[in-house]
Structure 1
Amino acid sequence: MFVPVVDKNRNPLMPTTPARARKWVKSGKATPFFRNGVFCVRLNVEPSATQTQDIAVGIDPGSKKEGFTVKSEKSTYLNVQADAHNKVSKKVETRRELRRGRRSRKCPNRKHRTNRMANKQRLPAGTRTRWDWKLRILNYLSTMFPITHVCVEDIKAQTQKGARHWNESFSPLEVGKQWFYAEIQKRWILVTLKGFETKAIRDSLGLKKSGNKMSNDFNAHCVDSWCLAYHVIGSDTDQVDNTCVFCVSPIPIARRQLHRQNPQKGGRRPRYGGTMCNGIAKNTLVKHVTYGLTRVSGYMEQKGYSLYALGGKRLTQSARRESFKVLTRLNFNYI
């Protein structure tokens, strides 16, 4: 296990051991803090050396879960398993149905407009969310580690015979993947491998992949991301030195809707969703006197705050402002 280190300006340095981090904190040379569930230290003095080694991130994309591994030649710093972001397309469909329903009820609504994005290069909402989620995790890791290389297992959409335009650019998977690769190349060195090449590396190292894709075990997804990082950066040994997995999932955020889908008594349809809850941004991590670490979510018309556990269960809808302390803004749920 290693502890990420940043300097006074929050620039990432090479990680250190937990024993050395405790020594720095005890002597006042560093200040401890958490960055979305990961313990880090910030140096209060000038670092003795600012040279960094090459650090690679291996990314194993998936339809349900994905693996990320941060690794240098000598050590494996962090394994992350993330739930895929795959619910936006259904939300877009629901929004379309509600909009069409308002037209039939003679409710206030905008007039029908032609597709202004026709014949223009764009990413569908669901595709953009899937690949932007991977980029967000990558940016999150780059705030703690001086990343130099990114290795991604290249996936391809199913091609259609005789459909050249679909195979080249119209497939949402291909369009999203190319956008993701372009964003990576702006900051890091990109390396891609095919699926069979990843398997060959895994077999050569004697590693086994679990058949249970939904488990939080290292052998489910992170074993492939470790092999991808190993291919780029190498290793002193062929043994995996860190099999601990840090699990994260996207926070379900309800975009602000004009009204709820089903009317209440009297035909009233109140507002639903949004980014604020009585002056506090949603997904803010707070410490409640009774429930401990929770996050603010929901929209309350009356006074009070809706608090949720980090696992997603709602705890209360009537928390008072003086009963909790605001800590920081969360980017995702973590275990």
Structure 2
Amino acid sequence: MRIPVVDSNRQPLMPTTPARARKWIQSGKAVKRWSDCGQFYVQLTIVPSGYATQDIVIGIDPGKKYSGIGVVSAKFTLYTAHLVLPFQTVRDRMDNRRLMRRGRRGRRINRKIEFSKRAHRQKRFANRRQGKLAPSIRANRQLELRIVSELCKIYPVIEIRYEYVRADVDKSSGRKKARSGKGFSPVMVGQVWMLKQLGQFAPVVKIEGYQTSLTRSHLGLTKNKVDKSKAEFNTHAVDSVAIAATSFVEYRKYHTANMDGANWFGSVTITPASFFVIRRPPYSRRQLHLMVPARGGVRRKYGGSTTRHGLRKGDLVNSPKGIGFVSGDTEKQISVSDANWKRLGQIASSKVTLIRRSTGLIVAC
């Protein structure tokens, strides 16, 4: 295991050992820090001995509901994460929004007058040809970009490797489908946009699925293909490590005077590393009122990130029930939940103390 290091100007340096980091902190040469993606690191208070760095690569295994991210050097695995993507949540909320909008338009129309004089909205034109990403896809990719941006602040990343899903065309229908034969995948949507965004942090290399599989087998890593929803290293993070490792090992052909063949070239060492499960806080966004009227036709306000006690939803707090996240409030109490958003209890606001403001991420080790 290695601890990330940054200098006094927050420029990332090569990670160090935990023992050396402890000595720096005890002697006052460094101070403790935590990144928004859950990684502990140290910031030097003195001038570093040097700025030489080794190659560090980020690997991304994108998915529809879950993604994996890994940071690898030639000698160490530095960071692994399992991302719980907001795809289904955003899609359900967009469906509800569309349903409510149609209901409002229907109630606005006076059906007692003839059709040509009704208050229908004007006909739309070609508004589906703007090249926009669907909100659910954009939310997925933005969560991945958020984690990559945090990692690039504490690691001297020289390259980002991204698993690219290629599409074939079905000759019978003319539609695109994934090469796995399982039909069109939402992972394929917005890949070009994602690569462009990643290019702002470091050079990007596209890796195909077969390369990930071959490298994973070569490194002796196993993948859980039965239940990919499990928040463990062997579901998605293992592929991200294999993707990053392709920067250091490669299976390629060779030619000599006596024979032709193919073999693995290069070396990389896979070591134990910190593993994190990251998701967005699942609280509801601010709405003017509830979707369904209450008794008497009155709707109360609903959602939002603020509370009546000076805290925000997603803030990390300390309470008699333990350390957790603010998930709601009443007139005199605050709801505190764990990293899985399971309520620990409703606690008097006077007994809850703030540890850290909300970062927009829920991180569990």
TM-score range, shorter chain: 0.7 to 0.9
Q: TM-score, normalised by structure 1?
A: 0.86
Q: What amino acid is aligned across from residue 214 of structure 1 in structure 2?
A: S
Name the CA distance, whole Å, in 2 between partners of 1:9 and 1:178: 33
Partner deviation per Cα, 1:202-254 (whole Å, 9 max, x = no partner)? 23333332223233333322222112111114598554222552222222131
Larger Rg: 2
Does structure 1 residue 178 correspond to structure 2 residue 192? yes
Name the CA distance, whole Å, in 2 between partners of 1:128 and 1:47: 39
Residues 255, 274 of structure 1: 8 Å contact kept: yes
Q: In structure 2, the residue corresponding to 1:63 is in which secondary structure?
A: coil
Does structure 1 residue 127 correspond to structure 2 residue 137? yes
Change over 3 Å in CA distance of 1:115–1:76 after alignment to 2: farther
Q: In structure 1, the residue corresponding to 2:318 is in which secondary structure?
A: strand
Structure 1 gap ranges (5+): none
Residues 76, 269 of structure 2: 8 Å contact kept: no
Instruction: Tell me the equivalent position of 2:241.
Output: 226
Q: What amino acid is aligned across from residue 295 of structure 1 in structure 2?
A: F
Does structure 1 residue 331 correspond to structure 2 residue 333? no
Q: What amino acid is aligned across from residue 194 of structure 1 in structure 2?
A: E
Partner deviation per Cα, 1:85-123 (whole Å, 9 max, x = no partner)? 22211110111112222344559xx98566584432211
Residues 71, 229 of structure 1: 8 Å contact kept: yes
Name the CA distance, whole Å, in 1 between partners of 2:156 and 2:71: 10
Q: Calculate percent identity across the aligned residue pairs.
A: 35
Name the CA distance, whole Å, in 2 between partners of 1:86 and 1:173: 11
Instruction: Tell me the equivalent position of 1:194.
Output: 208
Residues 24, 30 of structure 1: 8 Å contact kept: yes
How many residues in Structure 1 have an aligned counterpart in Structure 2? 329
Change over 3 Å in CA distance of 1:194–1:323 after alignment to 2: closer
Name the CA distance, whole Å, in 2 between partners of 1:51 and 1:247: 31
Name the CA distance, whole Å, in 2 between partners of 1:265 and 1:152: 52
Q: TM-score, normalised by structure 2?
A: 0.80
Q: What amino acid is aligned across from residue 67 of structure 1 in structure 2?
A: G
Residues 74, 268 of structure 2: 8 Å contact kept: no
- CA shift, 1:298, in A, is 3.2
Partner deviation per Cα, 1:291-312 (whole Å, 9 max, x = no partner)? 3322223365x35433322220
Residues 57, 161 of structure 2: 8 Å contact kept: yes
Instruction: Tell me the equivalent position of 1:154.
Output: 164
Does structure 1 residue 89 correspond to structure 2 residue 91? yes
Structure 2 gap ranges (5+): 110-118, 178-183, 250-264
- CA shift, 1:129, in A, is 0.8
Name the CA distance, whole Å, in 2 between partners of 1:86 and 1:260: 23
Q: What amino acid is aligned across from residue 156 of structure 1 in structure 2?
A: R
Residues 58, 228 of structure 1: 8 Å contact kept: yes
Does structure 1 residue 291 correspond to structure 2 residue 321? yes
Change over 3 Å in CA distance of 1:202–1:79 after alignment to 2: same
Residues 156, 173 of structure 1: 8 Å contact kept: no
Task: Note the 1:22-37 alignment, pairs <5 A.
Answer: 22-36=22-36, 37=38
Partner deviation per Cα, 1:8-46 (whole Å, 9 max, x = no partner)? 232322111110011011111111132243222111112
Name the CA distance, whole Å, in 1 between partners of 2:334 and 2:124: 40
Instruction: Tell me the equivalent position of 1:2.
Output: 2
Residues 157, 173 of structure 1: 8 Å contact kept: no
Partner deviation per Cα, 1:153-183 (whole Å, 9 max, x = no partner)? 111357454777978xx99654411110010
Does structure 1 residue 281 correspond to structure 2 residue 281? no
Name the CA distance, whole Å, in 2 between partners of 1:172 and 1:210: 21
RMSD: 3.0
Residues 31, 41 of structure 1: 8 Å contact kept: yes
